[in-house]
């Protein structure tokens, strides 16, 4: 055959255009991930001093906040939020934590009357809220209570036909029954009350009622019991276990590799089996075709997960029939077989990633496809694929540690198929520390020097968190989440992962295979993409919280932007007065205000001309409602009895604490009236009742501040008030909120005089006894009528409370340098022997763990975690 020059030119043009298009797509993909890196998400992990706690203890923790892409521990957020949440998703406390010494660390005190049970911690930053609460950090927590034994309760279930009889028994600390107590019971399902009962305990301290057995897969249920009367106050939540046939029920989910079942392709199908309560389960069964013929056996291999292979045909329907015990079988349909499509199949073994394209029987190859890979948004794979080159391999040394998402895309950038693989972390640092010496001798100083260097021998400066416990007191849980499991696995996958620490326990083929099952049954969650040739849309609703800011917006009364309006901010507790002006959009911000705990602020805005003809709105954050992310488990509480008893002994030795749940006594007098009376014997002028009502009539519809001007021995000039002829202005106490004169005047100016219930004036000599030297001009005590809103009816004035950062107690390390403390008879029993959230290595990479042994240390368990400056995740367990 003779080829013309035109044919040769055409072939050369096709080759060049393909190369140019490939390069163009590669640049677009690079731009896609570059934009994501400019708005990096954050990851957060909490290292706790131990795996479980008891009432009255402190949870000591360190927070590691890193860039979600690079894992470098330098982010813009300087505040994190930690919530302690009960199993029924009620937030017990929310803590705002400020970065200090470059790190986040602190403690959470558990009250002595906290109910025993299952809780979880939820932690996040304001910036993380942009991605949603699925990206928050969650940690399951068991909390016991041996201090509160005044009332004990137990529950018993006895199955019946279609329903179950529930018996709840209540006893006192001596295990004697509590008879004749009225108990309110609620059955909760999907956060709604399903049943409601009111029962009175019998002579054995028992109540009984029936609950229906649910046959379908659904939400777990809880039983809430509350004492309705009597001398005691008590409430508890029980999680209803699987009852009746639900013990044998399960659901089966199928995950064909690459996304769909393709006609004529030999394909792997992963699956996951779960019980109605969300826990995984084991099963065995068969894959059947339309005719009922067995194609393959099906069996779980690890944590309810497994995989089988077969070649599906279009038009054929497939089912799996499976059982947990060989007697109760259920059938589940596989997804529909697609007659067209191209997908990705991947095998990752012994350092090599092998890829292959699966093409449906009648699908025609048209254009060049591309294998694109990224690890957390760092692009690292770009391989063109053609009809003549549908498979290949590459070395996994090209990948970063953690999860890599491999994408099959067409020449327009549309994602056709995806697959996840995992690159195990390499040990990139040398960690030198002597083995723990025998620690049998009590109250002895122990010093453990350590040194961290990189593979080139260069010292590594970093901050470490160190926890040392006694295995005889605290049972270690090496399968739970830790810094590597959290940052490399859990934070990048959708759904709950059972025993995440297992996948990092050893570098073995079996562990790697189980990791592959996990990745086949869980999706990538960090960000979603269907077309990576188009720049992603980045939505920002919450700013990165580098400092504490109080902001808002001012508008005109009848709408419109209020530009260049003055806004004044007062904080009586902080002795803060600040002024700013609104911008072109009517917005304002008071930046870098340092405050802790809860602080009350007063803000007032006026028009540019100084009139009160504007509306002020303060910015606020809407926190998402927690949703329990873990399957409900029925813990055997008896296994914690020994630990709870140790905690009880510690508290009795230190404080002699005992909790008694007496019902609160109802006080008929209002709380504010009680506060008013506390100043009555010190006040020099008091106005209430008929006398106050007569004064109100004299000001008509005037303000509470106008009312003060009608009192004897007061003088008002503008917003300045003087009493008893004092040259200095008095302090104000308005509904127990103390503020300086100008702030008090501003608040009372916007409250009607009719809302005032009591007024007291204190001379300086009396006022300084209560309010300190600030009250050298006396004090004005104003009590408002119940229901009065501070801020009144003025739309330009706002009184609000903001949560500042939480300042917690540090871990106490006993010191026994002299013979006197060494010989002290007071027992030194610790559940956590040593905790240091900020052990800093020096310029030589060295640090020293230093502590004195307690009286009970026998079998030490040491955990050290950290993140280096270049993002290496360090974990040592001994």
Q: Is 192 a domain residue? A: yes
C-alpha span between 771 and 779 (Å, rounded): 8
- 723 and 780 housed in the same domain: yes
In the predicted model, is pLDDT for residue 656 greater than 70?
A: no
* pLDDT score at 9: 33
Instruction: Write the pLDDT tens digit of every residue in 496-526.
Output: 999 999 999 888 889 999 999 999 999 876 7
Question: Which CATH number is 170's domain given?
Answer: 2.60.40.1930
- 157 and 55 housed in the same domain: no
In the predicted model, is pLDDT for residue 701 greater than 50?
A: yes
What percent of the chain shows pLDDT beyond 70? Answer: 92
* pLDDT score at 219: 58
CA proximity to 854, closest of 558, 575, 646, 659? 646
- 117 and 176 housed in the same domain: no
- 107 and 83 housed in the same domain: yes
C-alpha span between 296 and 306 (Å, rounded): 13
Measured torsion, CA atoms of residues 88, 93, 98, 99, in degrees rounded to the nearest 10: -40
- 721 and 768 housed in the same domain: yes
* pLDDT score at 357: 96
Q: Is 468 a domain residue? A: no
Beta bridge partners of 618: 552
Among 207-221, 226-240, 770-784, the range scoring the smallest mean pLDDT is: 207-221
Instruction: Write the pLDDT tens digit of every residue in 359-373.
Output: 999 998 878 999 999
Among 17-26, 279-288, 377-386, 590-599, the range scoring the smallest mean pLDDT is: 17-26
Among 24-28, 215-219, 410-414, 629-633, the range scoring the smallest mean pLDDT is: 215-219
Cα separation values, 598 from 91, 96, 784, 803, 804, Å: 17, 10, 22, 5, 6
C-alpha span between 370 and 414 (Å, rounded): 10
Q: Coil, strand, or helix at residue 803?
A: strand
Bridging pattern class, strands 415-423 and 402-409: antiparallel
Q: Is 558 a domain residue? A: yes
Q: Is 524 a domain residue? A: no
Q: Coil, strand, or helix at residue 402?
A: strand
Residue 225 burial class via C-beta count within 10 angstroms: exposed 0-12, middle 13-18, buried 19 and up: buried
364: its two tokens: 């025609």
| H-helix or E-strand spanning residue 186 | strand 182-189
Cα separation values, 220 from 87, 100, 148, 242, 808, Å: 11, 41, 27, 9, 36
Q: Is 521 a domain residue? A: no
Q: Is 679 a domain residue? A: yes
* Residues 198-222: b if buried by 16+ CB within 10 A, e if exposed: ebebeeebbbebebebbeeeebbbb
According to DSSP H, which parts of 640-775 are helical? 641-654, 671-677, 689-699, 704-709, 741-749, 764-771
DSSP annotation of 280 reads: B
C-alpha span between 104 and 61 (Å, rounded): 9
* pLDDT score at 668: 36
- 754 and 690 housed in the same domain: yes
Q: Is 115 a domain residue? A: yes
Q: Coil, strand, or helix at residue 638?
A: helix
- 602 and 567 housed in the same domain: yes
In the predicted model, is pLDDT for residue 21 greater than 80?
A: no
C-alpha span between 833 and 353 (Å, rounded): 45
Q: How many domains does the chain have?
A: 4
In the predicted model, is pLDDT for residue 294 greater than 80?
A: yes
Q: How large is the average pLDDT for residues 85-108?
A: 94
- 117 and 167 housed in the same domain: no
CA proximity to 230, closest of 660, 659, 663? 663
Residue 840 vs residue 219, higher pLDDT: 840
275 CA to centre of own chain:
25
In the predicted model, is pLDDT for residue 421 greater than 80?
A: yes
Among 231, 252, 269, residue at a domain's last position: 231
* pLDDT score at 737: 82
- 772 and 679 housed in the same domain: yes
857: its two tokens: 């240390």
Residue pointed to by tokens 């003087």: 722
Q: Is 325 a domain residue? A: no
Instruction: Write the pLDDT tens digit of every residue in 149-195.
Output: 788 899 999 877 778 899 999 999 889 999 999 999 988 887 777 78
Among 231, 265, 288, residue at a domain's last position: 231
Instruction: Write the pLDDT tens digit of every residue in 781-823.
Output: 999 888 787 665 578 888 888 999 999 889 999 999 888 888 8
Would you place residue 262 in the very low, low, confident or very high pLDDT band (cuts 50, 70, 90)? very high
* pLDDT score at 462: 96
In the predicted model, is pLDDT for residue 226 greater than 60?
A: yes
Residue 296 CB neighbours (<10 A): 14
Domain that holds residue 60: 42-144
- 139 and 184 housed in the same domain: no
Instruction: Write the pLDDT tens digit of every residue in 716-753.
Output: 887 789 998 898 999 999 888 888 787 788 888 888 89
Residue 304 vs residue 682, higher pLDDT: 304
Instruction: Write the pLDDT tens digit of every residue in 30-76.
Output: 999 999 888 889 999 999 999 999 999 999 999 999 999 999 998 99
Residue pointed to by tokens 């140790």: 646
Residue 769 vs residue 580, higher pLDDT: 580
Among 231, 254, 272, residue at a domain's last position: 231
Q: What is the pTM of this model?
A: 0.86
In the predicted model, is pLDDT for residue 639 greater than 70?
A: no
Instruction: Write the pLDDT tens digit of every residue in 660-694.
Output: 554 444 433 333 444 444 576 777 788 888 889 98
* pLDDT score at 572: 78
Among 394-408, 640-654, 662-676, the range scoring the smallest mean pLDDT is: 662-676
- 46 and 139 housed in the same domain: yes
Question: Which CATH number is 761's domain given?
Answer: 2.170.130.10
Query: 3-class secondary structure for 325-388?
Result: CCCCEEEEECCCEECCCEEEEEEEECCEEEEEEEECCCCCCCCCEEEEEEECCEEEEEEEEECC
- 157 and 137 housed in the same domain: no
C-alpha span between 826 and 649 (Å, rounded): 12
**Mean pLDDT score across all residues of the chain:** 88
* pLDDT score at 667: 37
Would you place residue 586 in the very low, low, confident or very high pLDDT band (cuts 50, 70, 90)? very high
């Amino acid at each position: 055959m003779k080829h013309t020059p035109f044919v040769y030119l055409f072939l050369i043009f096709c080759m060049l255009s393909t190369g140019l298009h490939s390069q163009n797509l590669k640049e677009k993909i690079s731009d896609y991930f570059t934009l994501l890196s400019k708005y990096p998400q954050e990851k957060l992990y909490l290292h706790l001093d131990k795996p479980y706690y008891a009432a009255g203890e402190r949870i000591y923790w360190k927070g590691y906040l890193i860039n979600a892409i690079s894992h470098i521990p330098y982010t813009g957020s300087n505040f994190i939020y930690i919530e302690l949440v009960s199993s029924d998703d009620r937030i017990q406390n929310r803590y705002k934590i400020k970065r200090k010494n470059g790190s986040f660390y602190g403690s959470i005190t558990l009250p002595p009357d906290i109910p025993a049970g299952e809780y979880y911690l939820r932690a996040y930053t304001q910036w993380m809220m942009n991605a949603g609460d699925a990206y928050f950090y969650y940690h399951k927590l068991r909390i016991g209570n041996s201090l509160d034994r005044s009332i004990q309760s137990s529950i018993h279930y006895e199955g019946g036909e279609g329903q179950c009889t529930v018996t709840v028994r209540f006893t006192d600390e001596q295990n004697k029954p509590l008879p004749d107590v009225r108990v309110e019971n609620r059955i909760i399902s999907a956060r709604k009350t399903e049943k409601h009962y009111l029962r009175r305990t019998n002579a054995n301290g028992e109540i009984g009622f029936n609950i229906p057995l649910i046959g379908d897969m659904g939400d777990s249920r809880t039983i809430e019991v509350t004492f309705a009367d009597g001398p005691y106050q008590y409430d508890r939540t029980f999680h209803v276990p699987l009852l009746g046939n639900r013990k044998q029920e399960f659901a089966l989910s199928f995950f064909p590799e690459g996304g769909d079942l393709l006609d004529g392709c030999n394909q792997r199908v992963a699956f996951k089996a779960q019980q109605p309560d969300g826990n995984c389960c084991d099963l065995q069964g068969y894959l059947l075709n339309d005719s009922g013929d067995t194609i393959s056996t099906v069996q779980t291999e690890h944590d309810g997960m497994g995989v089988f292979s077969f070649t599906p045909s279009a038009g054929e329907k497939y089912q799996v029939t499976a059982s947990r015990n060989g007697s109760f079988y259920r059938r589940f349909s596989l997804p529909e077989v697609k007659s067209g499509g191209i997908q990705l199949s991947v095998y990752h073994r012994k350092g090599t990633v092998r890829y292959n394209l699966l093409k449906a029987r009648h699908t025609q190859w048209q254009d060049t496809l591309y294998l694109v890979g990224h690890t957390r948004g760092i692009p690292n794979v770009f391989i063109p694929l053609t009809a003549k080159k549908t498979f290949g391999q590459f070395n996994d040394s090209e990948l970063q540690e953690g999860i890599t998402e491999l994408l099959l895309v067409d020449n327009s950038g549309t994602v056709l198929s995806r697959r996840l693989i995992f690159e195990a972390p390499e040990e990139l640092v040398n960690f030198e520390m002597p083995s723990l010496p025998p620690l049998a001798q009590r109250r002895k100083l122990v010093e453990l020097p350590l040194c961290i260097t990189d593979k080139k021998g260069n010292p590594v400066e970093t901050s470490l968190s160190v926890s040392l416990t006694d295995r005889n007191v605290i049972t270690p849980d090496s399968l739970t989440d830790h810094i590597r499991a959290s940052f490399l696995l859990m934070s990048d996958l959708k759904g709950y992962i059972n025993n995440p620490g297992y996948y990092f326990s050893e570098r073995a083929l079996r562990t790697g295979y189980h990791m592959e099952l996990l990745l086949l049954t869980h999706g990538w969650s960090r960000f979603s993409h269907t077309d990576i040739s188009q720049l992603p849309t980045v939505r920002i609703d919450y700013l990165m919280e580098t400092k504490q800011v109080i902001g808002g917006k001012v508008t005109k009364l009848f709408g419109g932007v209020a530009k260049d309006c003055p806004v004044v901010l007062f904080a009586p507790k902080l002795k803060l007065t600040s002024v700013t002006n609104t911008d072109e959009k009517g917005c304002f911000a008071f930046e870098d205000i340092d405050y802790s705990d809860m602080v009350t602020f007063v803000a007032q805005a006026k028009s540019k001309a100084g009139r009160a003809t504007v509306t002020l709105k303060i910015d606020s954050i809407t926190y998402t409602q927690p949703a329990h992310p873990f399957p409900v488990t029925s813990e055997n509480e008896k296994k914690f009895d020994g630990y709870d008893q140790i905690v009880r002994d510690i508290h009795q030795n230190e404080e002699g604490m005992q909790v008694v749940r007496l019902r609160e006594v109802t006080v008929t007098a209002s709380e504010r009236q009680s506060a008013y009376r506390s100043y009555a014997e010190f006040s020099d002028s008091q106005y209430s009742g008929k006398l106050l009502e007569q004064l109100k009539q004299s000001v008509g519809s005037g303000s509470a501040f106008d009312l003060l001007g009608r009192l004897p021995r007061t003088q008002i000039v503008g917003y300045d008030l003087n009493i008893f002829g004092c040259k200095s202005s008095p302090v104000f106490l308005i509904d127990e909120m103390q503020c300086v004169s100008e702030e008090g005047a501003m608040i009372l100016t916007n409250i009607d005089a009719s809302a005032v219930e009591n007024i007291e004036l204190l001379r300086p000599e009396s006022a300084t006894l209560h309010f300190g030297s600030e009250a050298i001009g006396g004090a004005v005590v104003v009590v408002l009528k119940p229901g009065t809103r501070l801020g009144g009816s003025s739309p330009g004035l706002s009184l609000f409370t903001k949560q500042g950062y939480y300042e917690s107690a540090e871990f106490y390390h006993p010191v026994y340098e002299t013979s006197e403390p060494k010989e002290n008879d007071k027992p030194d029993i610790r559940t956590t022997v040593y905790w240091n959230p900020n052990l800093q290595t020096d310029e030589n990479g060295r640090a020293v763990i230093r502590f004195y042994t307690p009286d009970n240390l026998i079998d030490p368990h040491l955990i050290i975690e950290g993140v280096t400056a270049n993002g290496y995740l360090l974990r040592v367990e001994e």
